[in-house]
Amino acid sequence: MTATTDGSTGALPPRAPSASDATAETTEPTDRIRTAVLDDTAEAARRATARATDHLLSLQDPAGWWKGDLETNVTMDAEDLLLRQFLGIQDRRTTEAAGRHIRGEQRPDGTWATFYGGPGELSATVEAYVALRLAGDAPDAPHMARASAWIREQGGVAATRVFTRIWLALFGWWKWDDLPELPPELLYLPKWFPLNIYDFGCWARQTIVPLTVVSAKRPVRPAPFALDELHVDPRRPAPPRPLAPATSWDGLFQRLDKALHLYHRVALRKLRGAAMRSAARWIIERQENDGCWGGIQPPAVYSVIALHLLGYDLDHPVLRTGLASLDRFAVWREDGGSPGDAGGSAPTRMIEACQSPVWDTCLATIALADAGVPADHPQLVKAADWMLAEQIRRPGDWSVQRPQLPSGGWAFEFENDNYPDIDDTAEVVLALRRVRHPDPQRVEDAVHRAVRWNFGMQSRNGGWGAFDVDNTSPFPNRLPFCDFGEVIDPPSADVTAHVVEMLADVGRAHDPRTRRGIAWLLAEQEPSGAWFGRWGTNYVYGTGSVLPALAAAGIPGSHPAVRRAVRWLQTVQNDDGGWGEDQRSYQDKERWAGRGVSTASQTAWALMALLAAGERESEAVRRGVRWLTGTQREDGSWDEPYFTGTGFPWDFSINYHLYRQVFPLTALGRYLGGGPAAVGA
């Protein structure tokens, strides 16, 4: 009995049911349903993780490394054939296999794109067309006629980028006088002078130095055919370009180029000869032990041409090993299985612009450890041994800006001691610390060297670039010569995030330098809540890099920046539960940021971000996990034809074939395990 309001005893009068009553009555069944759904998702994730783990372990090389194909676009294949034509070393098997690959990449409208599903691109289409002419395709063949008609509609050869016209000039298909001038005397400019070679990003620097020799020599080899069909008006292939106002930066650099053309005619012979010899020394000093230059294809191609023009015979050890290194960029497929090819038994040959064993190995190690593979598993120990042996202990070009800083970084490639990068170094440390190595002191010493080097490579604004310190000059991008991709290396959110995550992992989260990096990241957040992705596509990658770093550094999931990022990721999740972002987001942020067909790697990046922000129980995470488990193939892998990596945003896109494996496994492992694996050393 309960007392009434008037002091008597008796039962309270019944009241009308309320919404809270309904909630109370349904809470228990709803919770049971939700728990069942989560359990089902977790079980699917466990099965997918087991399959993916087995598959990734099976891909390891006996030496300890992983490497997936690095797919870019057909300009790599076209320029390889043009190089062979220029040097007179073409062979039928290579030419035919390359032709099959290039032909298989052509779009129905006759064009070639620079990424899967992308629009036709003029320079790529011109280079592919010329390569197929070298392979014997007739200009009136239907696929060639479609290509040449489209090229003319887009403005013809005159509208292509400078690098395409340089290749054509080597055979007299374009005039050297109608190209921007690049004098070898550039090497003599001191590092404090605007536009010295160290103002350029390392990838551009390695390409520009040999091209100064090519520009000075202006070679022309006899063309095997004419290309009149690629000009809007063959009688006037290079119509004059409008001159920008002299008061503008573009106008200033256009006039500087005109002055350099005049200088080309009057350059002192002794000075020019000395400059070209200096360029040759610079190039040779930077050749790697395996013969390549920087572990990437473009500098190797132009270095071989430059040294050959300076009198180096093809049998000279420098050129012999250089050409041999280029052959190692070739991916042969004996079944004709080039992406987009119609198939067949004849082999195809695809050229990688670069190879990524260090990057792939550290990411694979992290993925396996986070998926629950024991820290002392023999394959993880072998991977750690290989990575430890790859640490660079000598100075490279980065030391021009940091002469007193001891080395300690890792490069991206098999051989690239001159250009270790900050991003790889951070991720290798994270990988090494997940392995229980039998010689922990060896790991500790390597980590110490790496942390010291990464701290020393911090830029003034608090962020980190990929290869150099404070590589932010506005001038290199203004040169008429530099009309293709990024030529400087400013700090980026993704690289900075990886460094911050690594520093937090080694116990340096409260170091003032780490806090400056965190402050820089917070200041770089987009109004939408996302972060720009420089080396991966794009805002999904940037956000997927930053949120795990902030969490590792102790920034709570309730922080306003984290909540904005979570809301953005939730708004761009696809209806199928995955995430995707097209390369076009670099050109059209409003329409494409966070938008595109769902992919395994990008879905994983979004999940890694949301899990770091404490969203494991959210519907967005559950749907993302279900998308990954539902799209996994029987062998434990995922299919991913879309390009989710970048060399230059928009201009040079990359499909890392191992991304589709390592990132989904990392995300699923963290979903099941609650976060990154416990550190080792």
Neighbour-count burial for 157-170, b at 16+ CB within 10 Å, e otherwise: bbbbbbbbbbbbbb
**C-beta neighbour count of 14 within 10 angstroms:** 6
The answer to whether residue 412 sits within a structural domain is yes
> Mean pLDDT across the stretch 590-615?
98
159 and 54 within one domain:
no
Closest CA to 531 of 516, 520, 517, 521: 521
Quick one: 280 and 425 in the same domain? no
pLDDT tens readout for residues 425-463: 999 999 999 999 999 999 999 999 999 999 999 999 999
Mean pLDDT across 6-10 = 36
- What CA–CA distance (Å, rounded) separates 421 from 409? 7
The DSSP call for residue 595 is -
**DSSP symbol at 485:** S
**pLDDT tens, position by position, 404-425:** 999 999 999 999 999 999 999 9
| The pLDDT of residue 668 is above 80 | yes
Tens of pLDDT, residue by residue over 347-388, are 999 999 999 999 999 999 999 999 999 999 999 999 999 999
Q: What is the mean pLDDT of the chain?
A: 92
In terms of residue numbers, what domain contains 346?
71-234+246-351
C-alpha torsion angle, residues 476, 477, 478, 479 (rounded to 10): 60
Query: Which residue bears the tokens 């709803």?
Result: 30
Q: Which amino acid is at 613?
A: A
* Secondary structure E strands in 46-142: 70-71
- Do 305 and 384 lie in one domain? The reply is no
pLDDT one-digit tens code per residue, 613-646 = 999 999 999 999 999 999 999 999 999 999 999 9
* CA distance to 33, 34, 40, 75, 622, per residue, from 37 (Å): 6, 5, 5, 48, 9
* Burial category of 443 from C-beta neighbours within 10 Å (exposed 0-12, middle 13-18, buried 19 and up): buried
Query: In whole angstroms, what is the distance from residue 217 CA to residue 176 CA?
Result: 10
3-state secondary structure of 13: coil
The answer to whether position 478 is within a domain reads no
Task: Band the pLDDT of 254: cuts 50, 70, 90.
Answer: confident
Given a cut of 80, whether residue 33 has pLDDT beyond it is no
Please indicate, yes or no, if residue 620 is contained in any of the structural domains: yes
Is residue 621 within 8 Å of 671, Cβ to Cβ?
yes
The answer to whether position 659 is within a domain reads yes
Among the ranges given (85-94, 341-350, 593-602, 616-625), the one the predictor scored with the smallest mean pLDDT: 341-350
The amino acid sitting at 467 is F
Residue 666 lies in a domain: yes
pLDDT for the residue numbered 477: 84
| Gap between the Cα atoms of 316 and 307, Å rounded | 10
- Residue 348's DSSP bridge partners are 333
- 399 by Cβ neighbours in 10 Å (0-12 / 13-18 / 19+) ranks as middle
Measured in whole angstroms, the distance separating CA 288 from the mean position of its chain's CA atoms is 22
Domain count, the chain: 2
Specify the pairing of strand 330-333 against strand 70-71: unpaired
Task: Clarify whether residues 63 and 80 are in a common domain.
Answer: no
Query: pLDDT value at position 338?
Result: 43
User: In this structure, are 542 and 659 located in the same domain?
Assistant: yes
Q: Indicate which CATH number applies to the domain containing 302.
A: 1.50.10.20
pLDDT higher for 29 or 453? 453
Whether 585 contacts 571, CB under 8 Å: no
Q: Which residues are catalytic?
A: 423
| Torsional class of 577: left (φ above 0), alpha (ψ -120 to 50), beta (otherwise) | left
Same domain, 571 and 624: yes
Same domain, 117 and 197: yes
